[in-house]
Structure 1
Amino acid sequence: MKAVKIVLFLLLSLSFYGCGSYSFTGIQTDAKTVQVKYFQNTAAIVEPGIERTFTNKLQEAIQNQTSLGLTNSNADLVYEGEIVDYRISPMTATANYTASQNRLTISVLVKFSNAKKEEENFEKRFSFYQDYEGDAQLTGSKLTEVVDFIFTRITQDIINESLAKW
């Protein structure tokens, strides 16, 4: 009976040991530190403050999904870039020739550098959009809601491209 307990204990221990290297987020990196440089807003239409919002959102996403330490210099991984497009487009029209639905599209150009695996470096444009009612003014809490939705999608796409090796 004691031998059965020992065998069961060993099997259970080995099964937990095998789970130790698995990441539920799919992020696999041997890097320890990350730096997110300030993303400038160079879009033709400049919405004040979204560059700070995007930089903070990317930092938060990385910190929430990885165990990487955030640093200001000499990081293993570096994200830098700029917001290159901020565009509002009418999507559907009414009989009175007014927009019944608009779309905000934001694009970010990201340069990713991995000091440990330079073959993973890239420079890529990430873009996403959110539709909203045509009679809504894109200001205040509505602007915050739409921009947060777009930046959440873009930051997730950036993390998937740079760290998640599916």
Structure 2
Amino acid sequence: MIFKEIRFFILVIIALSLNSCGFYSLSGVTIPDNIKTFQVDYFGYQAVLVEPGLERDFTLALQDLINDQSRLSLTPRNGDYIYQGEITRFYIAPMTATADSRAAQNRVTLEVNLRFTNTKNDEESFEKKYSFFFDYDANAQLQGSTLEAAKEVLFEQITQDIFNDTLAKW
């Protein structure tokens, strides 16, 4: 008998907590009803170290994330939310050293400057820099599978941070 009462009590708490989350979705996205579209302009490249195609790949990664995790439709112009910016830093630096003072690990860092415009509510528009890093073995070159792994980690973190700031409002 006590087990049934506890189970009923737990179900009531779960039902009430789900009901109270009316404005939020399970993914945490809070998009007003008047926002239907988003636009991601091609991110420029201003970093000193050149990595061909990085800006294209980043732009596509941001578009894909927003497309996959929100109800917004991608549009080439006149979006309700507009994402613009540039890659401002892409650099490699040694991180850890061996006993004979050689680099054991390198770190590649990506920094992106974002200008977010909410065309329906200018008070929510902002400009902000996002940065993240990826460490890899110093004996490896930043190309091929190492570069792809770095881009995956860097893009995933930075695009998710942008998503959280603009759509999840975390």
TM range (shorter): 0.7 to 0.9
The one of 66, 72, 77 aligned to 2:70: 66
Match of 1:32 in 2: 36
Superimposed CA distance per residue, residues 68-103 of structure 1 (whole angstroms, 9 cap, x where no aligned partner): 000011110000000000010100111232210110
Superimposed CA distance per residue, residues 33-91 of structure 1 (whole angstroms, 9 cap, x where no aligned partner): 00000001110111001001100000000011101000011110000000000010100
Q: Does residue 51 of structure 1 match 2:49?
A: no
Match of 1:11 in 2: none
Q: What secondary structure is seen at the aligned counterpart in 1 of 2:168? A: coil
Q: Is the 8 A contact 2:23 2:30 kept in 1?
A: no
Amino acid at match of 1:23: S
Match of 1:113 in 2: 117
Task: Provide TM-score, normalisation by structure 1.
Answer: 0.86
Q: Does residue 162 of structure 1 match 2:160?
A: no
Q: Does residue 129 of structure 1 match 2:126?
A: no
Q: Is the 8 A contact 2:82 2:118 kept in 1?
A: yes
Paired residues in the alignment total 154
Shift of 1:132: 0.7
Q: Is the 8 A contact 2:136 2:146 kept in 1?
A: no
Q: Is the 8 A contact 2:45 2:86 kept in 1?
A: yes
Shift of 1:18: 6.6
Trace 1:144-163 onto structure 2 (pairs within 5 A): 144-163=148-167
Shift of 1:19: 6.4
Q: Is the 8 A contact 2:95 2:106 kept in 1?
A: yes
Shift of 1:20: 6.2
Task: Provide TM-score, normalisation by structure 2.
Answer: 0.85
Match of 1:78 in 2: 82
The alignment-based identity, stated in percent, is 49
Q: Does residue 92 of structure 1 match 2:90?
A: no
Q: Which runs of 4+ in 1 moved over 2 A?
A: 14-22
Amino acid at match of 2:56: R
Q: What secondary structure is seen at the aligned counterpart in 2 of 1:25? A: coil
60-69 vs 23-32, greater mean Cα deviation: 23-32
Gaps of 5+ in 2: 1-14
RMSD: 1.8
Tell me the distance in 1 between the aligned counterparts of 2:96 and 2:20.
53
